[in-house]
């Protein structure tokens, strides 16, 4: 007799143990950890500029730095 629960468990969760899955998860975690400091620095950038006496119009133009 065929055990359908065992087959479903093997097909549904077998990708989590594959080398490709582990490699993609490692890349995703590195990508995320690389982006977090950059995001925090960009959020603080406008505050630093404002405390330095830069006008709000010029601070508003800093978003253009991220255009391709």
pTM (2 d.p.): 0.50
> DSSP letters along 29-63, please?
HHHHHHHHHHHHHHHHHHHHHHHTT--HHHHHGGG
pLDDT: is 63 or 56 the higher one?
56
> Rounded to whole angstroms, how far apart are CA atoms 51 and 54?
7
- The burial class, CB within 10 Å (0-12 / 13-18 / 19+), for 49 is middle
**Average pLDDT of the residues in 36-45:** 88
Q: What is the mean pLDDT of residues 25-52?
A: 91
Could you tell me the pLDDT band of residue 42, with boundaries at 50, 70 and 90?
confident
Q: Are 19 and 32 in contact (CB under 8 A)?
A: no
Compare 56 and 7 and report the one with higher pLDDT.
Answer: 56
**Which whole number is the average pLDDT over 36-57?**
91
């Amino acid at each position: 007799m065929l055990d359908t629960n065992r087959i479903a468990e093997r097909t549904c969760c077998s990708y989590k143990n594959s080398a490709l899955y582990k490699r993609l998860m490692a890349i995703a975690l590195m990508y995320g950890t690389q982006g977090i400091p950059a995001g925090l620095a960009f959020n603080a950038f406008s505050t630093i500029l404002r405390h330095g006496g830069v006008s709000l119009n010029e601070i508003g133009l800093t978003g253009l730095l991220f255009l391709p």
